[in-house]
């Protein structure tokens, strides 16, 4: 009797294990042929809201505050650089402090203050905003699209010379400049992302022979080389350089850098040809030549704070 019970118990156990194994195999088979979720969003196309000069499609999340410091030193080489100037470290061409806040996960606003990049206007305040129109998704929409724009205001003392582009005696409107961009980005894979940005800059007051409005195309990229390190770069091509700018030797802004994530911070060590940081300054005014050693070391650092919790 005991032998019969043992045989029946063993048979029941083997049958149960066999059915369980078959069920697991069926589940795995169904999972393998199930269609992927086409609405799954692609995240972390870039690590921060800016590359070197170009803003990215990344947003500050709702209730979060992004505190950023951007710094550009002087020329590394050339007539204004070299060992006597400690390769640019003795000089500061521009520095900017900024705060960007997420009103929603799609809409952020920001304010900043920069020294000015030696382009005439200095003591520059800026207001900016960015809104996400569309997010890239796996097996769905192939691009992320955002709009970015804002204005700058200079609080510097007016130059009373009538022909000066820093003469603000006539109207306060001459202290304002404006910029706008449409950002198209795509995360190609986990290691590589690209961005393209048609750009417009309008300055209310310019020198005779210069353009009030400039159009440009910007391009940027990020390539990861390890879990926390990436190579970043961007470039602006101004489409309507004026005769006045050509006479001054206008140059296209270009930047290349190394991005390092250090826990709560994201740090950029970079090289750039432009001395200014704001679009309304470096796009129309850059005259620095890479071949003449007029390139400068700089850095961007970003720190996110949670201000409002859900």
pLDDT of residue 254: 95
Residue 94, judged by CB atoms within 10 A of its CB (0-12, 13-18, 19+), counts as buried
**What's CA 54's distance to the chain center, in Å?**
5
Please give the span between the terminal C-alpha atoms of the chain, in angstroms, as a whole number. Answer: 66
- pLDDT, tens digit (0-9, with 9 covering 90-100), for 108-152: 999 999 998 888 889 999 999 999 999 999 988 999 999 999 999
Do residues 232 and 268 lie in contact, with contact meaning Cβ atoms separated by under 8 Å? yes
pLDDT at 33 over 50: no
pLDDT of residue 169: 93
Can you give the chain as a three-state secondary structure string? CHHHHHHHHHHHHHHHHHHHHHHHHHHHHHHHHCCCCCCCECCCCCCCCECCCCECCCCCCECEEEEEEEEEEEECCCCCCCHHHHHHCCCEEEEEEEEEEECCCCEEEEEEEECCCCCCCCCEEEEEEEEEEECCECCCCCCEEEEEEEEEEECCCCCCCCCCCCCCCCCHHHHEEEEEEEEEEEECCCCEEEEEEEEEEEECCCCCCCCCEEEEEEEEEEEECCCCEEEEEEEEEECCCCHHHHHHCCCCCEEEEEEEEECCEEEEEEEECCCCCCHHHHHHHCCCCHHHCCCEEEEEEEEEEECCCC
Confidence of residue 39 (pLDDT cuts 50, 70, 90): confident
The Cα 144–Cα 268 span in angstroms is 23
The Cα 166–Cα 156 span in angstroms is 9
**Average of pLDDT values for 172-178?**
96
CB half-sphere exposure, 142, CA atoms < 13 A: 2
pLDDT at 210 over 60: yes
Among the listed residues 260, 289, 291, the one whose alpha carbon sits nearest the alpha carbon of residue 274: 289
pLDDT at 178 over 90: yes
Prediction pTM value: 0.85
pLDDT at 94 over 60: yes
pLDDT of residue 38: 56
Vertex 105: Cα angle to 101 and 109 (nearest 5): 30
**Average of pLDDT values for 50-79?**
95
Vertex 60: Cα angle to 154 and 280 (nearest 5): 25
pLDDT of residue 61: 95
pLDDT at 192 over 80: yes
Domain range summary for the chain, segments of one domain joined by +: 1-33, 64-306
pLDDT of residue 27: 46
- pLDDT, tens digit (0-9, with 9 covering 90-100), for 234-275: 999 999 999 999 999 999 999 999 999 987 789 999 999 999
64-306: CATH superfamily: monomeric porin ompg (2.40.160.40)
- pLDDT, tens digit (0-9, with 9 covering 90-100), for 51-64: 999 999 999 999 99
pLDDT of residue 16: 46
The Cα 82–Cα 89 span in angstroms is 10
Do residues 271 and 297 lie in contact, with contact meaning Cβ atoms separated by under 8 Å? yes
**Average of pLDDT values for 9-22?**
45
């Amino acid at each position: 009797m005991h032998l019969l019970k043992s045989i029946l118990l063993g048979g029941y156990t083997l049958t149960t294990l066999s059915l369980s194994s078959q069920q697991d195999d069926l589940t795995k088979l169904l999972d393998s042929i199930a269609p992927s979720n086409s609405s799954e969003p692609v995240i972390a196309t870039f690590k921060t809201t800016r590359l070197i000069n170009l803003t990215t499609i990344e947003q500050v999340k709702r209730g979060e505050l992004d505190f950023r410091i951007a710094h550009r030193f002087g020329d590394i080489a050339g007539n204004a650089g070299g060992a006597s100037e400690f390769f640019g470290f003795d000089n500061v061409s521009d520095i900017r402090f900024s705060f960007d806040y997420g009103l929603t996960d799609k809409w952020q606003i920001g304010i900043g203050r920069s020294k000015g990049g030696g382009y005439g206007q200095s003591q520059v305040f800026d207001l900016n905003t960015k809104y996400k129109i569309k997010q890239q998704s796996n097996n769905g929409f192939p691009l992320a699209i955002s709009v970015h724009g804002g204005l700058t205001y200079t609080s510097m003392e007016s130059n009373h010379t009538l022909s000066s582009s820093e003469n603000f005696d006539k109207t306060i409107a001459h202290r304002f400049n404006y910029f706008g961009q449409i950002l198209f980005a795509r995360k190609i894979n986990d290691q590589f992302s690209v961005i393209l940005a048609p750009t417009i800059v309008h300055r209310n007051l310019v020198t005779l022979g210069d353009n009030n409005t400039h159009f440009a195309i910007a391009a940027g990229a990020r390539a990861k080389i390890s879990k926390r390190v990436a190579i970043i770069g961007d470039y602006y091509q101004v489409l309507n350089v004026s005769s006045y700018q050509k006479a001054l030797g206008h140059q296209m802004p270009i930047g290349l850098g190394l991005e390092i994530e250090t826990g709560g911070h994201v740090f950029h060590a970079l090289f750039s040809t432009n001395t200014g940081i704001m679009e309304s300054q470096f796009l129309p005014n850059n005259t620095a030549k890479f071949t003449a050693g007029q390139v400068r070391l700089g850095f961007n650092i970003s720190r996110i704070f949670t201000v409002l919790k859900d």
